[in-house]
Amino acid sequence: MTIIISSSSNGTTDFTEWYQDILPEVPGANAELCLHHIRRTLIEFCEETQSLQEIRDDIVSISGESDYTIESATPLVYDFINLISVHYDGQILQPTNEPELDSNRNEWYVLEGTPFAYYRSNLSTLRLFPIPIDDDDVIRIRFAVAPTASSTSIDTDFFKEYRSGIAAGVLARLLRMNKKPWTDLQLSAFYEGKHEEAKAQAKLATWKSYTNRSMEARPRSFGGLPGRTF
């Protein structure tokens, strides 16, 4: 299941809620070590599966401005990972890139109008094409996120959905540590398998959500050039 963070989300859950699932299985491991591996497991899980996503619909257009920053509404909690979709004034935009724009029209970078395409000009900047001519049109962006390196909590729905899968990943990490009182390579391999199953299910759910969204998009002609669509 893909978890969406929005204004209607059910709050967050502290990473420490995983302690009860993990610490009894690794006697002697301290809470600080456990917390470190919870955070690392969560970050890698979210980066690989893109199963934790956020929707921002509080960004509005500025006439003559093509670039907009992509970041979480809570940047101390979540890092931006990947852009999923963009809507402008209720219409889904088509992804493009500079080489494709170059091949279609000269001086496209100064063209103004109602945007129908977008691309990322750098890691955290969304660029709309053509340049908006209206103020205050809603720009709705959906993107994958992961906890930051200092996060201590995560979306509650995500916790509920992937609680056991994340716990398995943390246990796999801890149990394969060398020469610890709790070291158990056989049990580590068991939990690693459980963790990989959870990741596979999350990736499948994400892929299905991409497939469903792709059906929203409809090709449109670009620049009046025959045979070219976005």
In this prediction, residue 107 carries a pLDDT of: 84
In this prediction, residue 226 carries a pLDDT of: 33
Contact 27, 181 (CB under 8 A): yes
User: Which amino acid makes up residue 195?
Assistant: H
In this prediction, residue 145 carries a pLDDT of: 97
Q: What residues does each domain of the chain span?
A: 3-216
The residue ranges of the chain whose pLDDT is under 50 are: 214-230
Distances (CA, A) of 194 to 36, 46, 103, 206: 20, 16, 48, 19
> Rounded distance, CA 181 to CA 33, Å?
14
Q: Which two tokens stand for residue 43?
A: 């970050």
What is the percentage of the chain residues whose pLDDT exceeds 70? 90
In this predicted model, what pLDDT tens digit does every residue of 128-161 receive, in sequence order?
999 999 999 999 999 999 999 999 999 999 999 9
Contact 12, 73 (CB under 8 A): no
Residue given tokens 């890092």 in the structure block: 79
> Rounded distance, CA 178 to CA 224, Å?
64
> Rounded distance, CA 136 to CA 42, Å?
36
Q: Shortest CA distance to 5 belongs to which of 169, 170, 156, 173?
A: 156
In this prediction, residue 104 carries a pLDDT of: 78
Q: Which two tokens stand for residue 198?
A: 């959870």
* Strand, coil or helix: 112: strand
In this prediction, residue 215 carries a pLDDT of: 43
User: Which amino acid makes up residue 199?
Assistant: K
> Rounded distance, CA 230 to CA 218, Å?
8
